[in-house]
Amino acid sequence: MKILLLGSGAREHALARALAADPQTTELIAVPGNPGIAAVATNIKADPTSPTEVTQLAVEMQADLVVVGPEAPLVAGVADALREAGIPVFGPGAEAARLEGSKAFAKEVMQAAGVPTAEAAVCTTQAELEAAFDRFGAPYVVKDDGLAAGKGVVVTEDRAAALAHGLACLAKEGGRVVVEDYLDGPEVSLFCVCDGATVRPLAPAQDFKRLADGDAGPNTGGMGSYTPLTWAPADLTEQVVAEVAQPVVDEMARRGTAFSGLLYCGLALTSRGLRVVEFNVRFGDPETQAVLARLTSSLPQLLLASATGTLHEVPAPTWSEQAAVDVVLAAPGYPGTVTTGGRITGIEEAEAQPGVHVLHAGTGLDDDGELVATGGRVLSVVALGDTVEHARARAYEALSHIHLDGAQYRTDIALGR
């Protein structure tokens, strides 16, 4: 199987590892990829958000499957162009991708499908923002309606900070803000592979959104994750499929915009029961890094079945009994003004630790061919172990061998679980 993978982060490195390791994969090309992905795939410089460039490349390489990693190509209509060219693609079309591209649209679909979620108000003016704050009270949950790379959400007791974030979102062209009722309880991520009708859930995971230990500091794209969730209800996956994923897939089909690809269900296990926090329409980062580390069945087979509408014909994914923990190493300044260019050392020593592999995110090569930081989140250190505690210890031991001046990471990923 010839596969084209779009993206350049640690999520895509995790996907590349799992795709390349499968004997069904005969060729793997990544656009644009990164230095880590280059070890298992051929990187090609092209624009992953350009429907024309991606389709042309897929035709030239005679791709059997295109896997879209990040959200931007999906919202740009890359999957639509590939489907029009007759090329199987894992990822929804632009209209279905609005489940992530617009928080307001997602709320509308959930209401129509009877999916439990937080009450919300869609605001386009300061007056509407203030009224929503009065209605829901603190903690204030303020979300940019559009894509914001995982950093468009503010949850705060500080009304002034909530208002400032809301006004900044409204200042964008066509800006809209969703203000929600606060959901208590732990959050869980469940990825569901869909083909427009059938839903195949993956293993639940939990990520850590805030920058610092103890969930302090600003929201980020995610500072770490782990799986399995031994503390979660035993029937959680079945409940999410029955009450959330399948109803949404059915509703999208009813609207004539079949959802094919990855439906990321961000959930809160509240005192009032299961609630949806948000949807994404692609593999989540950093949860993917931990989830795929435990996958023992064929990823190419699963994603091709999604792309070709044959999910009902393939068996459910299978999982290692081991636990996986992923700790993110970020550059100085993240998630604000990031300092790039710092040299990275110690990855080989880290990967020499048992059960450990390191995934590249914001990395590149300098003029001397040395590995340097090029983005906010730089690496994901992933470890397998017999228990979450065991995997956690291995991840942090491996991380101790890696050096990047001024690097940031949390020391409490998966702690106490």
The per-residue pLDDT for 376 is 97
Q: Pick from 70, 124, 133, 106: which is nearest to 261 by CA?
A: 70
In tens digits, the chain (417 residues) has pLDDT values of: 999 999 999 999 999 999 999 999 999 999 999 999 999 999 999 999 999 999 999 999 999 999 999 999 998 999 999 999 999 999 999 999 999 988 889 989 999 999 999 888 889 999 999 999 999 999 998 988 776 555 578 888 999 999 999 999 898 888 889 898 888 889 999 999 999 999 999 999 999 999 999 999 998 999 999 999 999 999 999 999 999 999 999 999 999 999 999 999 999 999 889 999 999 999 999 999 999 999 999 999 999 999 999 999 999 999 999 999 999 999 999 999 999 999 999 999 999 999 999 999 999 999 999 999 999 999 999 999 999 999 999 999 999 999 999 999 999 999 975
Strand 224-227's sheet: what is its strand order?
A: 206-207, 224-227, 323-330, 377-385, 356-360
Give residue limits of the domains in the chain: 2-91, 121-180, 187-308, 323-404
The per-residue pLDDT for 417 is 58
CATH (one of 3.40.50.300, 3.40.50.720, 3.30.470.20, 3.30.360.10) for 187-308: 3.30.470.20
* Separation of alpha carbons 75 and 72, rounded Å: 5
pTM of the shown model: 0.91
Which is the CATH superfamily of the domain at 323-404? Phosphoribosylglycinamide synthetase, C-terminal domain (3.90.600.10)
> Residues 156, 162: contact at Cβ < 8 Å?
yes
Q: Which CATH class is domain 2-91?
A: alpha beta
Collect all residues with Cβ–Cβ distance below 8 Å to 272 and sequence separation of at least 6. Answer: none
The per-residue pLDDT for 119 is 85
Collect all residues with Cβ–Cβ distance below 8 Å to 122 and sequence separation of at least 6. Answer: 104, 107, 145, 176, 177, 178
Strands 224-227 and 323-330: antiparallel
Do 2-91 and 187-308 share a fold? no
Q: What are phi and psi of 84, to 5 degrees?
A: -65, -30
Cα distances from 44 to residues 5, 18, 56, 197, 389, in angstroms, run 10, 19, 13, 34, 39
Strands 140-144 and 177-180: antiparallel
Which is the CATH superfamily of the domain at 121-180? ATP-grasp fold, A domain (3.30.1490.20)
H/E stretch holding 377 reads strand 377-385
- What's the start-to-end Cα distance of the chain, in Å? 39
Could you tell me where the DSSP H helices lie in 159-254?
Answer: 159-170, 236-240, 246-254
DSSP, residue by residue, 11-42: HHHHHHHHHHTSTT-SEEEEEE--TTGGGTSE
The per-residue pLDDT for 186 is 93
